[in-house]
Amino acid sequence: MASHLLDIEHLSTYFYTEEGTVKAVDDVSLQVRKGETVCIVGESGCGKSITAMSVMGLIQGPSGKVVSGKIDLEGTDLLKLNRNERRVIRGKEIGMIFQEPMSSLNPVLTIGQQIMEPLIEHLRMSKKEARKRAIELIEQVGISRAEQIANSYPHELSGGMLQRIMIAIAISCEPKLLIADEPTTALDVTIQAQILDILRNFREETGMSILLITHDLGVVAEMADYVIVMYSGKVVEEGEVTELFANPRHPYTQGLLKAKPILNQRQDELYSIPGQVPNPLDLTESCYFHDRCEHCLEICKVQAPELQELGTEQKVACWLYEKEATARV
């Protein structure tokens, strides 16, 4: 589709460790439309961050490698570009913010210098112009005394402020896509809301798309247009946010939604999905969720289900829906 900004097809990223090969991202396809916010949700280690890093081209060799697939940004396959062309896209076409704002900024450079860098590198601004723009950006992310902040060092700012600075850096070159990797996880709740507000405002102002990675379903409900649920390196379910929340199909998604605390509703014990995430080193041909699944069938233990389209914009990879899916065709 032409309206797709980012089109990832059959992406696989592996890590070659001494114990064996870890298929961190295994045959993942996803699309982000212009101006849309797509959330990737899943537990730690499900491959959501590695997917983002693969898009950025920040998988560090020699142990990690994007082994196959296509990452299309407006018709250009990023994986076919050379190192330098890839670098130019980073920061300019795709901005990224990270989980830990406290450690994501260089402690020995001033805030101003760090915001100016991509402006000078990508937009060929002079130092003076870049500084002026940096101060505007600091104001745009809702920090007062911008001039003073530009001259200060990261250790002098709070976590919430640093995350705003990270956003200012990421959007400095007006990227088409912003990847936010758990941007609010390390922050307290009131700050979380402010950070999400800033992201939403920017999306509305500039029309950029956001790929938001999170494990917080509250954040998903607030931000997402479209949701992708990942488990052990694979997409298990995806769909429109309202549809997915109202009508989760995959037992894992159902479990996740059940495990979410509900405001004003006191429960003796919060539901948790039984069992553990499988060790990525010894995955065998099966549905990776089968040993934690309440509805496990015989076929689940020997064969992995394919992602199937279920009516309106919802896809699920689960044998329970296999008949339903084929019946519709």
Please report, as ranges, the residues that interact with another protein according to CB under 8 A: 56, 58, 87-92, 95-96, 98, 100, 103-110, 117-118, 121-122, 153, 155, 166, 169-170
What's the min distance (Å) between Cβ of 325 and another protein? 39
Residue 223 main-chain phi, psi, to 5 deg: -105, -35
- Confirm if 29 and 11 have CB atoms less than 8 A apart: yes
Closer residue to another protein (CB): 58 or 259 = 58
Closer residue to another protein (CB): 184 or 253 = 184
What's the min distance (Å) between Cβ of 22 and another protein? 18
What's the min distance (Å) between Cβ of 68 and another protein? 23
Which parts of 141-250 fold into alpha helices (H)? Answer: 146-150, 159-171, 189-206, 217-223, 241-246
- Using a 10 angstrom Cβ sphere, with 0-12 exposed, 13-18 middle and 19 or more buried, the burial of residue 248 is buried
Return the amino acid letter for 86: R
Burial letters for 282-297: b for 16+ Cβ neighbours within 10 Å, e otherwise? ebeebbbbbebbeebe
Closer residue to another protein (CB): 118 or 239 = 118
Q: How far, in Å, are 48, 82, 262 from residue 290 at the CA level?
A: 20, 40, 27
Return the structure tokens found at 152: 């200060």
Going across the sheet that includes 37-41, the strands are 94-97, 177-181, 209-214, 37-41, 226-231, 234-240, 315-316, 308-309
Instruction: Give the Cα separation of 273 and 275 in Å (integer).
Output: 7
Closer residue to another protein (CB): 17 or 103 = 103
What's the min distance (Å) between Cβ of 88 and another protein? 6
How many whole angstroms from its chain centre is CA 289?
Answer: 21
Closer residue to another protein (CB): 109 or 259 = 109
What's the min distance (Å) between Cβ of 53 and another protein? 9
Residue with tokens 């605390």: 261
Closer residue to another protein (CB): 15 or 245 = 15
What's the min distance (Å) between Cβ of 83 and another protein? 8
What's the min distance (Å) between Cβ of 117 and another protein? 6
Closer residue to another protein (CB): 88 or 246 = 88
Instruction: Give the Cα separation of 22 and 37 in Å (integer).
Output: 29
- Rounded (5°) CA angle 182-178-34: 125
Residue with tokens 């296509």: 70
Instruction: Give the Cα separation of 147 and 138 in Å (integer).
Output: 9
Closer residue to another protein (CB): 56 or 220 = 56
What's the min distance (Å) between Cβ of 190 and another protein? 24
How many whole angstroms from its chain centre is CA 299?
Answer: 31
